[in-house]
Amino acid sequence: MGGEKFTIYAVSDSIGETAEHMVKAATSQFDTNNIQISRISYLESNEQIDRLIANATGQRCAIFYTVVSEDLRRALEAKITEHNVVAADLLSPVINNLQQITGLKPKNKPGLVHVLNADYFQRVEAVEFAVKNDDGKNPWGLNKADVVLVGISRTSKTPLSMYLAHKRLRVANVPLVPEISPPEELFEVPSNRIVGLIINPGKLNEIRTERLKTMGLTNDANYANVQRINDELTYAKSIMRKLQCLVIDVSNKAIEETANTIIEYVDKNKARR
């Protein structure tokens, strides 16, 4: 389709995605291919405003902006008025209405939505990592983990992994079973990124007995046998000594309590790097 070209400037003192998406949504309502959208990101000075207005003056264009900084917004609006440029503030009306109904004062800091998005995507990535590296399924991923949990069955390795993943930590866990040697990759992980989990034998006997009941099995199975549990713990502790890792007794601890201990340990070690 021919005809005169029009330019829409989507301007922001942050990335500018919000302004651009809103402009695209609006322009989609018009049957023309002659509208060009130009995103202007990270507006931060009067000099940039002057260049923008100079480009806009004398052509068929409009400026749609999401500028959070009050000083920059006022400077931009003054230039828009001075040069009689078609423009619209996309964000302030919404913020002003929210301020009116909540009685709260806005932060007026650009880029906060993208900070939240980054946090969200880090959490999703960490959860995916935990699922992929659960129960020793992916020994090649151990060295990429922020922390590797080791322990015998029913010491809360998986629940802890998922809880820590929601704190944006990449967690792998490896079961320690006397009949199966741990993967060689485990011994290549620095000891300060490994946490061993142990538990009181009597407590574990109760947990495993209940687990057998939910599976419809009798409680005399070897899985819940106290001697078997003691053998597993002895083996696990020997591996943990070889790994020279932090060991946490989870017998009477909630998941959150153990997780907080691990988070503090990981943060302390990160600070030393």
pLDDT tens across 49-76, in order?
999 999 888 788 999 998 888 889 899 9
What pLDDT, on a 0 to 100 scale, did the predictor assign at position 21? 87
Q: What is the pTM of this model?
A: 0.61
Structural domain spans, the chain: 6-108, 113-272
CA 88, 91, 94, 96 dihedral sign is: negative
Rounded (5°) CA angle 193-194-197: 145
Tell me which amino acid residue 152 is. Answer: I
pLDDT at residue 1 is higher than 50: no
What pLDDT, on a 0 to 100 scale, did the predictor assign at position 99? 82
- Reported for 188-192, long-range contacts at CB under 8 A and 24+ positions apart, including other chains, are 188/142, 188/143, 189/142, 189/143, 189/145, 189/148, 191/243, 191/244, 191/245, 192/245, 192/246, 192/265, 192/269
At 160-193, the pLDDT tens digits run: 999 999 899 999 999 999 999 999 999 999 999 9
At 223-240, the pLDDT tens digits run: 888 999 999 999 999 999
Tell me which amino acid residue 139 is. Answer: P
Percentage of the chain modeled with pLDDT above 70:
93
Q: Which two tokens stand for residue 231?
A: 């053998």
CATH class of 6-108: alpha beta
CA 150, 151, 153, 156 dihedral sign is: negative
Q: Taking residues 150-164, what's their average pLDDT?
A: 95
DSSP string, 132-149: HTGGGS-GGGGGG-SEEE
Q: What is the DSSP letter of 177?
A: B
Per CATH, 6-108 and 113-272 having the same topology is answered yes
Cα 145 to Cα 8: distance, rounded to the nearest angstrom: 45
Cα 176 to Cα 218: distance, rounded to the nearest angstrom: 24
CA 230, 231, 234, 239 dihedral sign is: negative
What pLDDT, on a 0 to 100 scale, did the predictor assign at position 242? 97
Contact 143, 193 (CB under 8 A): no
- Mean pLDDT estimate for the chain: 88
What pLDDT, on a 0 to 100 scale, did the predictor assign at position 239? 98
User: Could you say which of 2.40.160, 3.40.50, 2.40.50, 3.30.70 is the CATH number of the domain covering 113-272?
Assistant: 3.40.50
